[in-house]
Copies of this chain bind each other. A is one copy, B any other.
Amino acid sequence: MTVNGKPTINDVARIAKVSKKTVSRVINKSPLLSEKTRVQVEQVIADIGYVPNPQARALALRRNFIIAAIHDNPNAQFLVNVQQGILEGIAGTEFGLMVEPVDRNSPTIVDDIRGFLERQRPYGVVFLPPISENDELASLCDSLGTKYVRMVSRELDKPEHIVMSNDREAVYGAVKHLIAMGHEKIGFIEGPDSLSPAERRAGYEQAMEEAGLPVHDWMIAKGRYTFESGVEAGLALIDGEARPTAIFASNDEMAIGAVIAARRRGIEIPRGLSIIGFDDTPLSSHIWPSLTTVRWPIVEMAKAAATKIIGGEEADPNLGVKLSSTLMERDSVVPPSRV
């Protein structure tokens, strides 16, 4: 009772003595089906090892069983973590993961992505920060009927379209931690212009204000999330009007840059300067001194994003909407030395 080649829906139908459509209903778990027929057809499917052909389904349904991660060149660890999360979310399903890089500064970015979506027709897409903040791309997906989830740090879309981390609270907590240790002059290295860095800065300012500590211009330096910009920013803060006793950097790479900057100025970490980063990249625990940092739930966010996309209506729209970052205390923070 074998079939030659890979079995198709026709083989199943023929052997089970039902129509193609009935088999199709079984595959798609249609509710209007007699239990008897379903069991019978499922038996045949199992017997001959039938697996629906995704290409055919894609043609008929006008969408591929693929989730695409659309990103604008974030750092490697972040990207891989997102990929891992999405893969966890689609594990055991027929879905696959595609990766599509885009250039945020391209004037044709919307058309570029439209082209990609019309070509590959992914079932859904996950937008990574910072392009996740682009509302045009969300509208584009809507108009194309493509599901999407945006990884963000503020509620800039409906719950079903976002997964969110509480960057502001996390930084607020981290800075409070520094304050509790006795630090008062706390420098802040800001990330590039977009929402997530702004949230982080807001958390910093909130903690400072609450403690009645002034935030001067020279206590804030801007970086680009890169190591090099962290060095520059670190030097700017150290050489500024009054040397801070602690620095919060908006990501680990810049924090490590600040570590190097301190070393260049002959400052010992953490005794001469406490530093906190953000991301909890593997790197942060590999350097010396190991870096106290905020752990960002990237994998969980990405997994939630994938789950929301393939879950359809049944999925909890609030899944992953409020994931928490937590402070990982390591060796780069101590109370300020009384000089």
Question: Measuring CB to CB, which residues of chain A are less than 8 angstroms from any residue of chain B?
Answer: 6, 51, 53-56, 58-59, 62, 64, 66, 76-77, 79-81, 83-84, 87, 94, 96-101, 116, 118-121, 227, 253, 256-257, 259-260, 263, 282-283, 286-288
Q: Is the CB of A263 within 8 A of B286?
A: no
Give Cα distance in the complex from A100 to B87, angstroms: 8
Q: Are A227 and B55 in contact (CB under 8 A)?
A: no
* Minimum distance in angstroms from A320 CB to a CB of chain B: 21
Q: Smallest CB–CB gap between A227 and chain B, Å?
A: 5
Cα of A253 to Cα of B282 in the assembled complex, Å: 10
Task: Report the minimum CB–CB distance from A318 to chain B (whole Å).
Answer: 28
A119 with B51: CB separation less than 8 A: yes
Q: Are A227 and B119 in contact (CB under 8 A)?
A: no
Collect the chain B residues with CB atoms within 8 Å of residue A94's CB: 119
Among B55, B87, B288, contact of A101 (Cβ-Cβ < 8 Å)? B87
Residues A55 and B59 in contact in the complex (CB < 8 Å), given A79-B80, A260-B286, A286-B227:
yes
* Closest residue on chain B to residue A120 by CB atoms: B96
- Contact check, A62 vs B55: say whether CB atoms are below 8 A apart: yes
A263 and B289 CA atoms in complex are apart in Å by: 11
Indicate whether A55 sits within 8 Å of B64 (C-beta atoms), given known contacts A98-B96, A98-B97.
Answer: yes
Q: Cβ of A54: which chain B residues have Cβ within 8 Å of it?
A: 119-121
A119 to B: closest C-beta gap in Å: 6
Instruction: Kindly report which residue of chain B lies nearest to residue A77, judged by CB atoms.
Output: B76
Selected A-B contacts with CB under 8 Å, 30 pairs: A6-B118, A51-B118, A51-B119, A54-B119, A55-B58, A56-B59, A58-B58, A58-B59, A66-B120, A76-B76, A76-B79, A76-B81, A76-B282, A77-B77, A79-B80, A80-B80, A84-B101, A87-B99, A87-B101, A96-B98, A96-B100, A96-B119, A97-B98, A97-B99, A98-B99, A99-B99, A227-B286, A256-B286, A256-B287, A257-B286
Residues of B within 8 A of A59 (CB): 53, 55-56, 58-59
In the complex, A256 Cα to B66 Cα: how many Å?
38
- Chain B residues contacting A87 (CB-CB under 8 Å) are 99, 101
Extra A-B contacts (12), CB below 8 Å, given A76-B77, A83-B99, A259-B288 = A6-B118, A54-B121, A58-B59, A66-B98, A76-B76, A79-B80, A96-B120, A98-B98, A256-B286, A256-B287, A263-B288, A283-B283
